[in-house]
């Protein structure tokens, strides 16, 4: 364990990470040495509620335009 190669990452303090690197890689398990440590394609980790999807934004724009049109129509009625 002591003779194993060390992780090449830097800590928040600026010093080198003391954890051993994964076999065949230059990083430890905490700094990206594990193959499954990456975010999934399309960043599904950040998706929570869908409020800012293209479809939701377009639907809100359509509703806003419809409400503007209705308020203009009501303003024109004597």
Residues 1 and 21 in one domain: yes
Q: 51 with 24, same domain? A: no
- 58 and 30 fall within a common domain: no
Number of domains observed in the structure of the chain: 2
pTM of the model: 0.42
Q: What is the pLDDT of residues 23-36, one digit of tens each?
A: 888 888 888 766 66
Read off the DSSP letter of residue 6: B
Share of the chain above pLDDT 90, in %: 29
Same domain, 69 and 35: no
Convert 31-53 to b/e letters by CB count within 10 Å (16 or more is b).
bebeeeeeeeeeeeeeeeeeeee
Q: 27 and 8 share a domain?
A: yes
Residue 8 sits in the same domain as residue 35: yes
Count of other CB atoms within 10 angstroms of residue 26: 14
Cβ atoms of residues 18 and 10 within 8 Å: no
Say what the pLDDT of residue 65 is.
Answer: 98
Lowest mean pLDDT among 15-19, 41-45, 46-50: 41-45
pLDDT tens, residue by residue, 49-60: 888 889 999 999
Domain span at residue 36 reads 1-40
End-to-end CA distance of the chain: 86
**Can you tell me which residue has the tokens 């065949």?**
24
Residue 2 shares a structural domain with residue 28: yes
């Amino acid at each position: 364990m002591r003779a194993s190669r060390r992780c090449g990452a830097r800590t928040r303090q600026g010093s080198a990470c003391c954890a051993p690197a994964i076999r065949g890689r230059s990083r430890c398990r905490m700094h990206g040495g594990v193959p499954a440590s990456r975010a999934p394609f399309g960043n599904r980790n950040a998706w929570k509620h869908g409020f800012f999807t293209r479809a939701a934004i377009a639907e809100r724009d359509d509703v806003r335009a419809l409400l503007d049109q209705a308020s203009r129509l009501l303003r024109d009625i004597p």
